[in-house]
Amino acid sequence: MNSHLLKQNIAFAIFRILGLMVVSILFWILGFIIYQGAGVISWEFLTSAPSNGMTSGGIFPAIVGTLYLIVGSSVVAFPVGILSAIYTSEYAGNGNIVKFIRIMTNNLAGIPSIVFGLFGMSLFVNTLGFGDSILAGSLTLGMLALPLVIRTTEEALKAIPDTFRTGSLALGASKLQTVHRIILPMAFPNIITGLILSIGRISGETAPILFTVAAYFLPQLPHSIYDQVMALPYHLYVIAVSGTDLEATRPMAYGTALVLIVIVLIINISASYLRKKLQKRHA
Amino acid sequence: MLETKNIDFYYGGFHALKNIGMKMEDHTVTAFIGPSGCGKSTFLRLFNRMNDLIPDTRLTGECLIDGEDIYHKSVDVTSLRKRVGMVFQKPNPFPKSLFENVAYGLRVAGTTDSRFIAQRVEESLKGAALWDEVKDKLKKSAFELSGGQQQRLCIARALAIAPSVILMDEPASALDPISTSKIEDLIHILKKDYTIVIVTHNMQQAARVSDKTGFFMLGELIEYNDTKKIFMSPEKEETQNYITGRFG
Amino acid sequence: MKRIFEKFIESLLTLSGATTGIIILLIVIFLFREGAGFFRHSEIESGYVLCVNEENPVYRLTPKQIKEIFDYEIDNWSLVGGNDEEITPFRISDISDYYSDEELGENNEFLPEKLGEIIAATPGMVAFIPEQYAADTNERVRQLITEKLNPADFFGGDTWMPTATPAPQFGLLPLLLGTLWVGLCAILIALPLGLGVAIYLGELADEKIRNLLKPTIELLAGIPSVVYGFFGLVVVVPFIQKTFDLPVGETAFAGSLILAIMALPTIITVAEDAIRNTPQAMREASLGLGANHWQTIYRVVVPYSISGISAAVVLGIGRAVGETMAVLMVTGNAAVIPHSLFEPVRTIPATVAAELGEAPHGGAHYGALFVLGCILFLITVVISVTAEVISKKQPQA
C-alpha cells in the first residue's frame, strides 16, 4: 500500500472515530436526562406547584411562567424584527445603511445573555420602574430574540428570486404592493419557521431573566404583567444548586430538565412540520 | 491509445450511455459534439474515472488506455488521474498562488525537490502559453488572472504532472472570443505531445481544432469519423440535422 | 392618499431597521452609566472612615493594604511606610473589649469620646468607625485619606472580595483569567473535535447518516444552557473528582468540558456548511490532478473553507466567553487566580449572575458588576467584528 493511501486511511479512521465519539456524547446527554427524568414526569408533576421546600409537588407555575415569557417576548420581538428585516432586505438596497444595520444586528446577536440581564435590570427594572415583572423580563428576552428574528426573516425574504420582484414591479405594482402581495406570502412558510425557532432559542435562557422577572418560588400564578413569575430554566438552576436538600430535590431537577428538553423538541419538530405543510400549500 | 468497448453507463435508473465503442489514436485531437444531455461529458469523464465521484452510478463494458482496462480492480485511481489530465468547463483555480496551483499535482504526488518543481512549473506555464504573461507574478493569487488566463493556468496545472492524455470539458465555453482562440491555438500546439479529447457544443470549434469528431445523441454515439467527413458529408441524417442547426 | 400611506409604511420600516442600532446604543449608555458609577465610590465602605493616632506618619493606605491589615496579614506599620510599630486593627464592635455598655451611655452618647481615648492611647491602632462618630472624638485622632476607587486598582487587582470590610476588593484579574482559562481550554477541546466531525459529516458520511445527524446536532444547539450545566453538575463534576482524585470536582476543567460540549454544535454546523460550500469544481480539479480524497480535503477543501471555519471558531469563542449559567453551575466559583485547570475558578459572567442579586442597588459592588458587563460587552464586540472581517475574506472564484 502506498504511503498516501495509508495516510488517507489513518486520517479517515480518526475522523470516523471522532464523529462517532462526539455524536455519542451528545446523544448520551439527551439519553441521560430522558432516562432519569422520565420516571418523574406525571400529570401531578406538570399541574401542581412545588411543595415541601421543592422536594415534591410539581412545576406548574414555572411552566406557566415560561409560557407567559414566550408570549411576551414574541410580542416584543416579532413585529419589530419582521419590519426591520423587510426594510433591510427589500428597501435599503446594498449601501452603507444596510451594512451598518447588519453589523449592528450581528453585534447584538453576539452580546452574552448576562449582559442583556444587566441592561434589562438597569433600564426596565430600575430606570423605567417596572420592577421585577413579566413586562421587564419580556422586553429583555425580546431584545435577545430580535437579532435571531431579523436574521431568519431576512434569509426567508432573500430566498425569493428577484424575478418575482421585477415581474410584479413590471406590472405596475408599487414596492409595498410587491412586498405585501408577492414577497411576504411566498416567504411566509420560512418566516414562520424562523420565528418559532428563534423563540425556542430564547425560551431556555436563564441569565436575562435572573434579575428582571424570575422568582424563586411563588405559590400563585401572576395576575398582571407587573407580577413576577417562576420560569423553567431558572427553576432548574435553583433546585440544582441551591436547594436546602439537594438529594431530595434531584428528581425534581431531572423532571424539570426533561420538560425543558421536550419543549425544545416540540418547538423544533413543529417548526419543521409547519414549514413542510405550508410550503406544500404555497407551492 | 484510448479505446472503449460496449460501454453502458447508468445514473441510478437512467441509461446515460448506450453501447459505445470507439478508438482514439495517440497525438490526435478528438472532439465530441451533440445536444445538451447527450452523454458526451459523461463519456469524457469515464477516462479519468471522474464519474466515480457521483453516487449511485453503474458502468458495464471496457474502457482501455494503451490496452489496459482502467476500471480493473488493480488500477490505482490517483495514478490513473496523473496519466489523464483534465480541464474543466469553468476555470477552477485553487485559492492559492499561481505557482502553487501549477505545483499542486507534483506536491500531492509527493515531490519535494523544489528545483524540479520550479522547473516543471515554468515548463508547464510555457506549454500553456501563459509564461510570458505571468512570469513576474507567480506569487500572486490565481484569482487575479482574467478568465482566459485562469483557464490556461488550469491547462498548465494539468500539464505539470506530465499526463499522456488531456481531457477538456468545454474548456472555452465560459470565455470571450479572444481567450477562446488562444485556447484553440494552444490545443494545436499540445497535440504534438498529448492525446487530446475535447467536449464542445461549439461546432465551429470542433471543426477548427479536431482531427476526428464523434456525434452523440441521447446517450448513443451516432457517428464517429474524420472531422472533415463529419462536417462535409455526414453519413447519418441526425448528424446532418444537428450540424446544419435543425435542432439542438 | 395611497402615496401617503406608502410613505408612512416606509418610514415605519426605516425606523424598525434602526432598532438594533438603537438597542446597542441603549445598552452602551446604560451599561457604561452604571459602570461609571463604580468609580465614584470611595475605597472603603461608604459612611465609614479609618482613624489613626495623630503621631502616626502614615496618611494613606491602599484598599489592598487595608484588607491585609484587618486580616492580620500585615502586622507592622513599617510594612506600609510607617514606624516600626505593631498594628492594632480596631472595628467598632471591638469597643466592648474596652468599655462596658454602661460606660458608653444608654444611647451610645459617650461612644465618640471613648473611641477617641482608645485611639489616642494606642499609637499603633487603625480604627474602622462610622463617619458620624469620628468627628466628635478628639484632636489626637486623625482620619486617613481615602480616595475614590480607581481603574488601575480595578484592572490590575488580583483579589475579588466585593463584600470585604472595611475595604472591599475589586480586582479584575482572577475573573478575567478564569474566563480566559475556561474559554480557551474549551476551544482547544472543541476545535479539533468539531472540525473532525465537520469533515466527517461534510466529506465522509453517507448521505443518509448525514441527513440524520445534521438536524440532531442543530437541535442540540438549542438545548438550554442550564440543562447542560445540570448535566455537568450531576455527571461531569463527580466524574472529574473521582478520576483525578480531587477534593472537589467543580473545577475550571469541568467548565471547559461543558463549554466545549455546548460549543460543539455551533462549530460543527458552521464549519460543515463552509466545507460543503467548497465548489465541486475545486474538488474535481484536485482529484483530476491525481490527489487522493484526503489530500484534496487538507490541501484544497480546508484552505478554501478556512474563512468559514475560522468564523465558526470565533463564534465558538464568543459563546464560550459569554456563557453564564452552565459555567456558574460547574466551576466552583472561587474568585482566585487559577494556577491549574483542576482548581475552582470563577468567570466574569458567572460573577455577575451570582452576585448581582445580593449587591445593593447603586452601591460600589453593583457598579463593579456593571463594569464587568461593560468588559464582556467590549470583548464580544471585538469578537463579532473579527468574525465579520474573517468571513469577508472568502475567496472569490
If you count them, how many residues does chain C have? 397
Q: Measured between CB atoms, does A30 come within 8 Å of chain C?
A: yes
Q: What is the DSSP letter of A210?
A: H
Is the bond preceding C166 in cis, omega lying within 30 degrees of 0? yes
The full set of domains in chain C, from first to last, is 48-147 (3.40.190.10), 173-392 (1.10.3720.10)
Q: Report pLDDT digits (tens) over C108-159.
A: 778 888 888 888 888 888 888 888 887 777 777 888 888 888 888 899 888 8
Q: What's the ipTM?
A: 0.90
Q: Rounded to 5 degrees, what are φ and ψ at B173?
A: -70, -25
Q: Quick check: helix, strand or coil at residue C390?
A: helix
Check CB contact of B229 with chain C, cutoff 8 Å: no
Nearest CA in chain C to B101: C286
- In whole angstroms, give the CA distance from residue B103 to residue C181: 42
Report the alpha-carbon distance of residue C35 to residue B85 in Å, rounded: 65
Asked whether residue C88 carries a pLDDT value surpassing 50, the answer given is yes
* Band of pLDDT at residue C207, cut at 50, 70 and 90: confident
For chain C, the 3-state helix, strand and coil shares in percent, each to the nearest 5, are 65, 10, 30
Nearest CA in chain C to A87: C13
The sign of the CA dihedral C101, C102, C106, C110 is: negative
Q: How far is A233 from chain C (nearest CA, A)?
A: 6
User: Residue C366 — very low, low, confident or very high, per pLDDT cuts 50/70/90?
Assistant: very high
Note whether B146 contacts C: Cβ–Cβ < 8 A: no
CA of B163: which chain C residue's CA is closest?
Answer: C289
For residue C184, the distance in angstroms to the closest alpha carbon of chain B comes to 30
The per-residue pLDDT string of chain A (283 residues; one tens digit each, 9 = 90 and over) reads 577 888 888 988 998 898 888 888 888 998 999 999 998 888 888 888 888 777 778 889 999 999 999 999 999 999 999 999 999 888 887 778 888 888 888 889 889 999 999 999 999 999 999 989 999 999 999 999 999 999 999 999 988 888 888 777 777 777 888 888 888 988 988 899 899 988 888 888 999 999 998 888 887 788 888 888 999 999 999 888 876 677 788 888 999 999 999 998 898 888 888 888 877 765 5
DSSP A161-189: -HHHHHHHHHTT--HHHHIIIIIHHHHHH
At residue C264, the 3 state secondary structure works out as helix
Mean residue pLDDT across chain C? 87
Number of C-beta neighbours around residue A177 at 10 A: 15
Range scoring the smallest mean pLDDT among A172-176, B46-50, B183-187: A172-176
Q: Is residue A82 part of a domain?
A: yes
Rounded Cα distance, C229 and C240, in Å: 15
**pLDDT tens digits, one per residue of C270-307:** 899 889 988 888 888 998 888 888 899 988 898 888 88
Q: pLDDT averaged over chain A?
A: 87
**Contacts of residue A206 in chain C, CB cutoff 8 Å?**
224-226, 324-325
Task: Estimate the share of chain A in helix, then strand, then coil, as percent rounded to the nearest 5.
Answer: 75, 0, 20
Distance from CA of B109 to the nearest CA of A (A): 8
As beta bridge partners, residue B195 has B165
- Domain limits at A87? 59-281
A3 touches chain B (CB under 8 A): yes
Q: Give a yes or no: residue A242 inside a domain.
A: yes
Give the pLDDT confidence of A78-105 residue by residue, as tens digits: 999 999 999 988 888 777 888 888 888 8
Closest-CA distance, B105 to chain A, in angstroms, reads 13
Looking at residue B136, its pLDDT comes to 92
**pLDDT value for A258:** 95
Inter-residue contact C185 to A225 (CB < 8 Å): no
pLDDT in tens, C41-65: 888 888 888 888 888 888 888 888 8
Q: Is residue C312 scored above 90 in pLDDT?
A: no
Q: Is B74 on the interface with A (CB under 8 A)?
A: no
Contacts of residue A106, defined as CB under 8 A and 6 or more positions apart, other chains included, come to A147, C384, C387, C388
Structural domain total, chain A: 1
Examine the pLDDT at C394 and tell me if it is beyond 60: no
C396 reaches B (C-beta below 8 A): yes
- Whether residue A144 is contained in a domain is answered as yes
Confidence of residue C396 (pLDDT cuts 50, 70, 90): very low
Q: Is B92–C396 a contact, with Cβ atoms under 8 angstroms apart?
A: no
Interface test with A, best of B77, B78, B112 (most A CBs within 10 A): B78
Q: Is A129 left (phi over 0), alpha (psi -120 to 50) or beta?
A: left
Band (C97; pLDDT cuts 50, 70, 90): confident
- CB proximity list for C91: less than 8 A, separation 6 or greater: C70, C127, C128, C165, C166
**What is the architecture, at CATH level 2, of domain B2-37+51-220+228-235?**
3-Layer(aba) Sandwich (3.40)
Average pLDDT (C195-217) is 88
**pLDDT at residue C354 above 50?**
yes
Amino acid at C156: G
**Other CB atoms within 10 Å distance of the CB of residue C362:** 12
pLDDT for the residue C59: 86
In this complex, is the C-beta atom of A210 within 8 Å of any C-beta atom belonging to chain C? yes
CB contact residues (below 8 A), chain A span 183-202, against chain C: 197, 200-201
Q: Where are the domains of chain B?
A: 2-37+51-220+228-235
Q: Which three cell numbers stand for residue B172?
A: 472555452
Q: What's the CATH number where A169 sits? A: 1.10.3720.10
Which residues 5-44 of B have a C-beta within 8 angstroms of C? Answer: none
Report chain C residues whose CB lies below 8 A from the CB of A129.
none
* Nearest C-alpha in A relative to B109: A4
Q: How confident is the model at residue B77 (pLDDT cuts 50, 70, 90)?
A: confident
Name the percent of chain C lying above pLDDT 90.
25
Q: In this predicted structure, what is the pLDDT of residue A282? A: 56
Type of residue numbered C370? F
Whether chain B has a CB inside 8 Å of the CB on A1: the answer is no
Residue C328 has pLDDT above 60, yes or no: yes
Q: Is B29 helix (H, G, I), strand (E, B) or coil?
A: strand
What does R_g of chain B's alpha carbons equal in angstroms?
A: 18
A-to-B residue pairs, Cβ atoms closer than 8 angstroms:
5
Asked if residue A21 is part of any domain, the answer here is: no
Strand pairing category for B29-33 and B212-217 = parallel
Torsion of CA B232, B233, B234, B236, to 10 degrees: 150
How much is the pLDDT for A57?
A: 82
